[in-house]
Structure 1
Amino acid sequence: MLPAPGTAASLPLATPSLAAGAPFTDDVTKCRIVLLDRDAYGRQLTHAQWDRLRATFPDGACDHSLESVGARPPIPWLPYEQRPDGAPLGSAPRSHFTAA
């Protein structure tokens, strides 16, 4: 069965994380692990499927709907209008052409 067009799994350069439901920003460096919940799956799993899933992920699985572990707000761009001591930088340097 092929992945549905437009889904992360159908992208030619998709990472395993994207295929597993990570955001397209692909900025989750460490996902939050949650315990498996049989009711969270959209269809009924057989006992054999559930046992295999639990054996594969005994400590839980990534929940890509949660923020990355250690995530912080972005740092704004640094201004370059002045030096670290607050003094203005002055004019930009100029290039001078010299004949060889």
Structure 2
Amino acid sequence: MSENMPMPQGPLPRIDPELRRAKLALAVQQEIVAGGRVESQTEFSAVVRFEASVNHVLHLLLTLITFGFWIIVWIALSISAASRRKTVMLTVDEYGQGVRQPL
């Protein structure tokens, strides 16, 4: 853009509700591709949760096979997975602006 070009004055134009829904659907799709899972969704907002999982059955077997030594690794992985859990809220306002808020 040119430096001499004036910025538009006044409020932003409101967008069509169908376009708002489409923008939200695209944002939700991007979060799902990144590993999220939709917990709830309304017309113009969604809550997405990210969780890192630990295969507890496998770690139990490894702990039994190694006579308890593997439990240190199991605990470390469980703590690490718990710290990577997060929840975000996606919203699209009436002007088409998308917002991603951590909860």
Tell me, yes or no, whether TM beats 0.5. Answer: no
Q: Which has the higher helix share?
A: 2
Provide the TM-score with structure 1 as the length reference. 0.25
Task: Answer with 1 or 2: which has the greater Rg.
Answer: 1
Q: Which has the higher strand share?
A: 2
Answer 1 or 2: higher relative contact order, Cα 8 Å, separation at least 6: 2
